[in-house]
Chain A
Amino acid sequence: MLESMQTGLYGLTAGVNYLFTQGGPNVIMLLIAATLLYLGVKKGVEPLLLVPIGFGCMLVNIPLSDLMESGGLLRTLYDMGISNELFPLLIFVGIGAMIDFGALLENPKMLLFGAAGQFGIFLTLLLALALGFPALEAVSIAIIGACDGPTAIYVASQYAPQLLAPISVAAYSYMALVPIIQPPIMRALTTPRERIIRMAPIKKTVSPQTKLLFPIVVTLVTGLLAPKGLPLMGTIMLGNFMRECAVVTRLQKASENEIANIVTLFLGLAIGGTMEGHAFLKPTTLMIFGMGFVAICMDTVAGVLFGKLVCKLTGGKVNPLIGAAGISAFPMAARVVQAQGQIYDKKNHLLMHAAGVNTGGQIGSVVAAAVMLSVLKGMGLI
Chain B
Amino acid sequence: MDNEKWAFGLTMMVVGMGGTFLTLWVLGLVMDLLKKIFPLVDKDGKQS
What is the bound-complex CA distance between A125 and B29, given in angstroms?
29
Assess the B28–A108 pair: CB atoms within 8 A: yes
Instruction: Knowing A115-B20, A221-B30, A364-B20 are in contact, say whether A125-B39 is a contact too (CB < 8 A).
Output: no
Kindly specify which of A10-18, A32-40, A174-182, A200-208 makes contact with the partner chain.
A200-208
Question: Does A371 lie within 8 Å of B16, measured CB to CB?
Answer: yes
A122 close to B (CB within 8 Å): yes
A225 beta carbon closer than 8 Å to chain B: yes
B15-39 interface bits toward A, Cβ cutoff 8 Å, 1 = contact, 0 = none: 1110111111111111110110011
Asked if B46 is at the interface (CB within 8 A of a chain A CB), the reply is: no
CB of A130 within 8 Å of the partner chain: yes
Residue in A115, A210, A213, A379 whose CB lies within 8 Å of B24: A115
Chain B CB within 10 Å, residue with most, of A123, A207, A222, A372: A207
Give the chain B neighbours of A360 by CB distance below 8 A: 24
A123 to B12, CA, bound (A): 10
Kindly state whether residue A139 has any CB partner on chain B within 8 Å. yes
With beta carbons under 8 angstroms apart, the residue of A108, A125, A375 that contacts B32 is A108
Is the pair A207, B40 in contact by a Cβ cutoff of 8 Å?
yes
Given contacts A207-B38, A207-B40, contact A375 B27 (CB under 8 A): no
Contact partner of B11 (CB less than 8 A), chosen from A119, A364, A368, A379, is: A379
Contact A129 B24, CB 8 Å, known A207-B40, A210-B38: no
A134 (CB) vs chain B CBs: closest residue: B5
Chain B contributes a number of interface residues (CB within 8 A of A) equal to: 33
Q: Give the distance in Å from the alpha carbon of A138 to the alpha carbon of B19 in the complex.
A: 19
User: Across the interface, which residues of A come within 8 angstroms of B13, CB to CB?
Assistant: 122-123, 125-126
Assembly CA distance A139 to B11 (angstroms): 12
Q: How far apart are A112's CB and chain B's nearest CB, in angstroms?
A: 6
Which residue of chain A is the closest to B35 with respect to CB atoms?
A: A210
Cα(A218)–Cα(B6), bound, Å: 33
A368 and B20 in contact (CB under 8 A), knowing A214-B34, A375-B12? yes
| Known pairs A108-B32, A363-B27; A372 contacts B16 (CB<8 A) | yes
Contacts of A122 in B (CB 8 A): 12-13, 16-17
Bitwise interface map of A from 218 to 257 toward B, beta carbon under 8 Å scored 1, else 0 = 1001100110000000000000000000000000000000
Chain B nearest CB from A205 CB (Å) reads: 5
Say yes or no: A203 contacts B48, CB within 8 Å: yes
Kindly identify, within residues 80 to 129 of chain A, every residue whose CB is under 8 Å from any CB belonging to chain B.
104-105, 108-109, 111-112, 114-115, 118-119, 121-123, 125-126, 129
A367 to B27, CA, bound (A): 11
Say yes or no for A287: interface residue by CB 8 A criterion: no
Q: Contact at B34–A364, with CB atoms within 8 Å?
A: no
Tell whether, in the assembled complex, residue A367 and residue B24 are in contact, meaning their CB atoms are under 8 Å apart. yes
Which residues of B lie under 8 Å from residue A364 when comparing CB positions?
20, 24
Which of the listed residues A123, A126, A218, A364 has the most CB atoms from chain B within 10 Å of its own CB?
Answer: A126
**Listed A/B pairs (7) with beta-carbon separation below 8 Å:** A111-B28, A118-B17, A138-B9, A204-B40, A226-B19, A370-B23, A375-B15
Please list the residues of chain A having a beta carbon within 8 angstroms of any beta carbon in chain B.
104-105, 108-109, 111-112, 114-115, 118-119, 121-123, 125-126, 129-130, 135, 138-139, 203-207, 209-210, 213-214, 217-218, 221-222, 225-226, 360, 363-364, 367-368, 370-372, 374-375, 379
What 9 A-B pairs are tightest by C-beta distance, nearest first?
A108-B31, A209-B38, A371-B19, A108-B28, A111-B24, A207-B40, A115-B21, A115-B24, A126-B9
